């Protein structure tokens, strides 16, 4: 139960970080420059793919509401890319240690960034058809440059992830170690308490046995009868 509570609290923190960092994203035409994907990658590495998918989906939806877009037929197309980033990184790194396998971590981040760029392009295209927001050149003319930008951003993520993740893992290990020490202390106290109880019981039984023997002593024959 405590582990589940810690997971929910950690997911809420990552979601809040995503919403805050998405506010500081630099948007220039079809290009977006920011570090909003960092909490999603951390969530995938710390908690798993499904948790990161949920954090990205709800966090992006909150961001859409804060930006004033509201709920539209294409909302799902805009909240799905961040969720897919966390899901892909979580699935690739599910049974691996991120710190010990930097190559696989970089691969997972680059693949997720490329898929996010493709999904965002699809969202731009659907919006251009439904609402005539964007031209064909605006949607596809910047595709290659956005791919390059996503790769550069992925490299930055790969540099930042070990720096941020190491303290979190150390804190988690320290919490587990403290919890293990606490359990061992409680177990030792319980064992000591049981030992004291057994000692007191044996002492009481010894006193009772001496009392019974003393009462049943036959003074005339100098013998001790067996106590019932």
- pLDDT, one tens digit per residue, over 100-112 is 678 888 899 999 9
pLDDT tens-digit map of 34-77: 889 999 999 999 898 999 999 999 999 999 898 888 888 889 99
- Rounded Cα distance between 62 and 177, Å, is 36
pLDDT tens-digit map of 172-188: 654 454 455 556 666 76
> What would the mean pLDDT of 109-137 be, rounded to a whole number?
87
Mean confidence (pLDDT) of the chain: 78
85/197: higher pLDDT: 85
The answer for residues whose C-beta is within 8 angstroms of residue 86's C-beta and 6 or more apart is: 40, 41, 43, 44, 49, 51, 52, 53, 55, 56, 112
Please calculate the CA angle 10-12-13 and round it to the nearest 5 degrees: 65
> What would the mean pLDDT of 214-221 be, rounded to a whole number?
52
Reported pTM: 0.71
At 3, the pLDDT band (50, 70, 90 cuts) reads: confident
Question: Does an H or E element contain 116, and which?
Answer: helix 102-130
């Amino acid at each position: 139960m405590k582990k589940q509570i810690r997971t929910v609290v950690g997911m809420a923190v990552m979601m809040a970080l995503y919403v805050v960092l998405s506010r500081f994203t630099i948007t220039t035409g079809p290009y977006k420059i920011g570090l909003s994907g960092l909490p999603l990658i951390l969530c995938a590495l710390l908690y798993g793919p499904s948790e990161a998918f949920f954090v990205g989906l709800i966090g992006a939806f909150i961001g859409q509401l804060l930006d004033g877009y509201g709920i539209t037929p294409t909302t799902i197309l805009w909240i799905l890319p961040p969720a897919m980033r966390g899901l892909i990184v979580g699935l690739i790194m599910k049974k691996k240690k991120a710190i010990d396998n930097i190559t696989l971590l970089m691969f997972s981040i680059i693949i997720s960034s490329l898929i996010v760029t493709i999904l965002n392009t699809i969202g731009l295209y659907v919006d251009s058809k439904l609402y005539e927001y964007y031209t064909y050149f605006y949607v596809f003319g910047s595709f290659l440059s956005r791919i390059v930008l996503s790769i550069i951003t992925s490299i930055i993520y790969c540099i930042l992830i070990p720096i941020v993740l190491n303290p979190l893992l150390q804190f988690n290990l320290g919490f587990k170690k403290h919890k293990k020490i606490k359990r061992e202390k409680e177990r030792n106290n319980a064992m000591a308490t049981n030992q004291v109880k057994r000692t007191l019981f044996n002492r009481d039984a010894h006193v009772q046995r001496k009392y019974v023997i003393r009462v049943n002593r036959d003074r005339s024959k100098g013998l001790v009868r067996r106590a019932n």
